[in-house]
Amino acid sequence: MNLVTDKHDPLTHFPNIVSVGNFYEPSLLPDHTSQKLNLTRDKLVQHDISDLEGKLIPAWQISEGLRPGTVICAKVTLHVYNIPNQDFPGFRRVRDLSHDTPSIKKS
């Protein structure tokens, strides 16, 4: 897994850098401002989301690749875990939503 830190579009410097599982700096997002978000260790992750032509959509361009009207089909699974709480009676409930690779149907 690679970490990309270029604050500009890394595709101009590294055209082959986009691959599933890579990590990128959140500053690559178009609406990222350090004043609004205090992200110190968080990273942007490249998920397996492709356009109609099968090309991987870069994580920082997801809003361009998935516009209003785009239909996405995904198989999702919801897992709920009840974790006993050691500090006081009861439990803590954790929800996890897992999905397979989504497929884009139309744009």
Residue type, 73: C
DSSP per-residue letters across 67-100: -TT-EEE--EEEEEEEEEPSSSSSEEEEEEEEE-
Taking the complete model, does pTM exceed 0.85, yes or no?
no
φ/ψ of 38, rounded to 5, equals -100, 70
Q: Which two tokens stand for residue 4?
A: 């990309």
The pLDDT value recorded for residue 7 is 52
CB-CB contact of 5 with 25 (8 Å):
yes
The pLDDT value recorded for residue 78 is 92
**CA–CA separation, 50 and 47 (whole Å):** 9
For residue 35, give Cα distances in angstroms to 23, 32, 38: 22, 9, 7
Q: Over the stretch 16-75, which tens digit does the pLDDT of each residue have? A: 678 888 888 877 877 766 666 666 677 888 888 888 788 888 888 888 777 788 888 778
Say how many domains are in the chain: 1
4 vs 20, residue with greater confidence: 20
By residue range, what is the domain housing residue 68? 3-106
